């Protein structure tokens, strides 16, 4: 099975880009910048509610389309996520619920601290249980 990078490299449009050295270099720099920005955004949003880790993995997919190191990191990440998922599914329900509750408390605490430091936006209704 070919890697993601090899599958992208085998496409006709990518081969046309690769045939022109300057264009190929610019394309790789562009992929690096876009993928890096996606990963950075994902890392910044991990503690906040939303798809932080999913965004990081999406950025790694973008980077892995051109860079071997990113492909190895993506494979490492996939293995770790699979191990975590397998471990979680093997746990009793009470353990999974406890981990889910601890995660929810952590995310809520980060949200409250973030809003306290940055200030609660004016558009947020007064009934929201956060202090102003």
Same domain, yes or no: 8 and 53 = yes
CA 105 to CA 98: how far, in whole Å? 10
What is residue 101's predicted lDDT score, i.e. its pLDDT? 95
Identify the pLDDT of residue 95: 94
Average pLDDT along the chain, 132 residues, taken 10 residues at a time? 82 89 92 95 82 90 93 92 94 95 86 78 66 49
Is the separation of the CB atoms in 56 and 42 below 8 Å?
Answer: yes
Length in residues, the chain: 132
Provide the 3-class DSSP secondary structure of residue 51.
coil
Same domain, 74 and 56: yes
Structure tokens at 90: 């093997």
Does 23 share its domain with 35?
yes
State how many domains the chain has: 2
pLDDT score at 127: 62
5 within 8 A of 66, measured Cβ to Cβ: yes
Among 88, 108, 124, residue at a domain's last position: 88
Q: What SS3 class is residue 3?
A: coil
């Amino acid at each position: 099975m070919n890697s993601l990078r090899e599958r992208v490299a085998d496409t006709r449009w990518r081969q046309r880009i690769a045939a022109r050295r300057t264009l190929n270099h610019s394309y790789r720099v562009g992929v690096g910048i876009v993928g890096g920005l996606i990963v950075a955004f994902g890392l910044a949003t991990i503690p906040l509610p939303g798809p932080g880790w999913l965004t990081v993995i999406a950025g790694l997919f973008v980077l892995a389309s051109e860079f071997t190191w990113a492909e190895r990191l993506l494979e490492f990440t996939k293995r770790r996520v699979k191990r975590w998922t397998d471990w979680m599914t093997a746990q009793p329900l009470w353990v999974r619920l406890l981990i889910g509750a601890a995660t929810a408390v952590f995310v809520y605490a980060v949200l409250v601290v973030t809003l306290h430091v940055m200030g609660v936006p004016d558009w947020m209704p007064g009934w929201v249980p956060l202090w102003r």
